[in-house]
Amino acid sequence: MSDGKLIVFSAPSGSGKTTIVQHLLKHKELNLEFSTSATSRAPRGEEKDGQHYYFLSLEDFKKKIKNDEFLEWEEVYRDNFYGTLKSEVERIWAEGKNVIFDIDVVGGLDIKNIYPEKTLAVFVKPPSIEELKIRLKKRKTETDDKISMRVAKASIELATAPQFDFIIENHHLGTALKEAYDLVASYVGVKNENKDE
Ligand code: 5GP
């Protein structure tokens, strides 16, 4: 279909993968475009439809599942569906770009299984579950209940790390960003120049 590559960043919520993905997107030489996922959860804070997510009603999300419009989808939390639309990946490939994903571990491994020869799957590991809890609390975007739900899920997610191509331990953000840059630059075949930025 295309020569574009797929770069997956997966991790428990609060591990810092979104920061890493946003950092990589600033490096134009990597020729990356973000795969905007669809979700049935409500927008948080400043989130905009079509930019952070395509926000769909639960009903519309289920309709798209039925119509086979998703490359992968997952009920990440109860009644909160997330998925990658086939049309999103096709659009980015048609632009001649590589696709970068910020998705949960199950979705990440699904993509790797669908396109094994053109996917780099990276797992971002938080320093500890305790630290994860602190980060989620600091973020102040979820209720205590939701934080507990995310922390409980994190332990299960951590067990999938060995199935990824690489694991980045996010103890120190600067080091994690550099490591991520190096991995992606090498995978997409870019000479490693701007990694310190
Ligand atoms: P949040 O609600 O914090 O934005 O995302 C919750 C979780 O859903 C995160 O782990 C996020 O990476 C994941 N997620 C976002 N988009 C997708 C997607 O398209 N597919 C899957 N499987 N998970 C996703």
Q: Which domains does the chain have, with CATH numbers?
A: 6-187 (3.40.50.300)
Long-range contact set of residues 115-121: C-beta below 8 Å, sequence gap at least 24: 115/6, 118/4, 118/5, 118/6, 119/5, 119/6, 119/7, 119/8, 120/5, 120/6, 120/7, 120/8, 120/165, 120/166, 120/183, 120/184, 120/187, 121/8, 121/10, 121/163, 121/164, 121/165, 121/166
pTM metric for this prediction: 0.89
Residues with CB under 6 A from ligand 1: 13, 37, 41, 72, 74, 76, 82-84, 102-104, 106-107
> For 155-165, what is each residue's pLDDT tens digit?
899 999 999 99
Buried b (16+ CB within 10 A) or exposed e, 108-147: bbbbbeebeebbbbbbbbbeeeeebbebbeeeeebeeeeb
Report how far ligand 1's centroid is from the alpha carbon of 82 (Å): 6
- CA nearest to 147, candidates 64, 77, 93: 77
Q: Whose CA is nearest to atom 3 of ligand 1?
A: 13
Q: What is the pLDDT of residue 96?
A: 96
Q: What is the pLDDT of residue 197?
A: 47
Closest atom of ligand 1 to CA, residue 141: 3
Q: How confident is the model at residue 173 (pLDDT cuts 50, 70, 90)?
A: very high
State yes or no: 17 annotated in a binding site: yes
User: Residue 109 pLDDT more than 50?
Assistant: yes
